[in-house]
A and B are shown apart, each in its own frame.
Chain A
Amino acid sequence: MNQWLTAPILIPLLGGILQVFMGYAPISLRRTLAIATTVLLLVSTVVLVVLASDDSYRLYAFGNWQPPFGIVLVLDRLAALMLILTAILALLCHLFAIGGADEGNRQFHGLFLFQLMGLNIAFLTGDLFNLFVAFEVLLIASYGLLMHGGGRARTVPGLHYVVLNLAGSAVFLISVGMIYSVTGTLNMADLAIKIPKVSGENLEIVRAGGMMLLVVFALKAALLPLCFWLPKAYAKATAPVAALFAVMTKVGIYAILRVYLLVFGDDAGALANLGMDWLFPLALLTLAMGVIGALGADNLKTLVAWQVIISVGTLLAPIALGSVAGISAALFYLLNTTWTVGGLFLVAELVARQRGSARDRIVTAPRMRNRTFLSVLFLLGAVAAAGLPPLSGFFAKLLILQSPMSGPEMAWLWSVILIGSFFTVIAYSRAGSIVFWRTVDGHIEEPGPLGGNVSVAAGALVALSIVVVALAGPISDYTDATAIQLQNPSGYIEILKTPMVGEDN
């Protein structure tokens, strides 16, 4: 039992409740409290990363029930990595939001913090049904955030997003029911023990349940046949919300990593590596689709939204191959791409504010204010996202390319990623040169100065890709150890033997 594990859930929960009751307090007070909550959250996740980096599993059992009977929170390297990734992204998005985007809706900060709580539960939970609850918590907060700021443009993509996710929740429940009806447990560690022993006609029920679970996670991660909701919804959302949503697709990827390596891993007998032969071609198709979408984007935010889909494809391809090197490379890329995409959403918003009625559309317009600063930020973000040296995207893609064994998979992976990167560079350079270089004579009404908060937040998020390069050694050591830990689920299963009775009293 380790009480620290509840901190990333309790801090945003209490902070969020405070915000709910302070809807009519002065906005400066609400902002201060909200930022303080996010900073505290970051501190707690740093503690958890330090705890997790000794390669042991830590457990928190609600109500002190002996696993597998109660709900457990489990901390390992992967969970800690996802927590700190989210906390850093959230702090910078929050900093951007208090630069003005949080006005117009009294509950913005509450929703933002509840969203973080849902994300953190999803990363920490060791129970399949609790994962469903976490998805619902983060989704209902995200519905509110997506609508934030109002406007006709947001209702239709919002409606599609909500209906699609409700259908996804129904499928999630069906697959949980199917798995439970055979195994009689929903604890992930216990499932990892029980599923290899399933045989006969029950096997097909679990197989169907597992594949439906993959459909749900693919919907969250925006894998190809299920990705068309994403660009419209993300491009229309308020900038800090869209930047925070950069981590939402990664929740689906996290769930795939967690469930399919632990429960349906190499030791799962007849169900070993369930669905992974489907995942690889779909991931490559997703990547190709994302590149096509990015080439056709008519505004900067849509371009960045398609970059989210490109990164989903790039992440899932090595994960589907399942080697230690591939998973480690994917985790390295995950860090890089989430922060970069978040930063690019913020930069796109800043550009939109400086260009008058042209907004962030990729059209010629009169010369914008603060062009040097914004164009440098866009250049950094685009270089990191497209994977050009010397920024982190290049090293991440290099690691991914080095990971597979030689064979047809390697040929497919190399060709799709390299051709995809080439066309991504074209998409970014086309967008950048039209928006920043090709100016026409004309007058833009004075757009107001670039605020300190927003510039710092957008700049810091983009500059994180430089930090990732500088710290590439320690980070890749961490992701290597994470991949090794993920490939040996026996340690995770050991948590069932942790004695609960008599401890702490």
Chain B
Amino acid sequence: MNKNEFLSELNRHLQKLPKSEQEAAIEDYEEHFEHGVFEGRSEADIATSLGNPRKIARELVTEYHLEHAEQHNSYYSITRAVFAFLGLGFLNLVFVLAPFIAIVAVIIASYAVSFVFVISPLSVFVALFGDDSWQSILLLLFATLGLLGVGLILGTVTTKFSKIFFQWFTRYLKSNQRIIRGERK
């Protein structure tokens, strides 16, 4: 088999591929023949060591289809990603967003309460300028100092809780991402 026979046999079995693919493949083998001939080998010798052109063609076709299948797969996964996103969007809206807003509201409220408690001793100064008796001012002082303590504790607890809550929530969002990307972990 000489160069032309080899190339036309190869080409004959590549008909199923797009023109550009065929040409690119043929070019590779043309170049190979040219190099071989340049080194002083005979065309028949080069063709023999290249192997059966039909088998080579089959390999090229298989590679092409494999690659194509992967591309199809990616269209499929885009569709899947969109549906996953919509589905998760609905789920998130109904089952996650509402509780999320509620919990954030609770966190804000308890911060507000603890802030008010913490600054409550300041009311003693206001009372000083009024005409309250010193007993009632003293009572106010102790009561508000108590509130200050409660406020500090409440603030600390809220901070701890919101940290845990936001960590958990980030993890939940990340798992959403993974589902949308199609990873299954």
Q: Do A and B bind each other?
A: no
B interface, CB within 8 angstroms of A: none
A residues with CB within 8 A of B = none
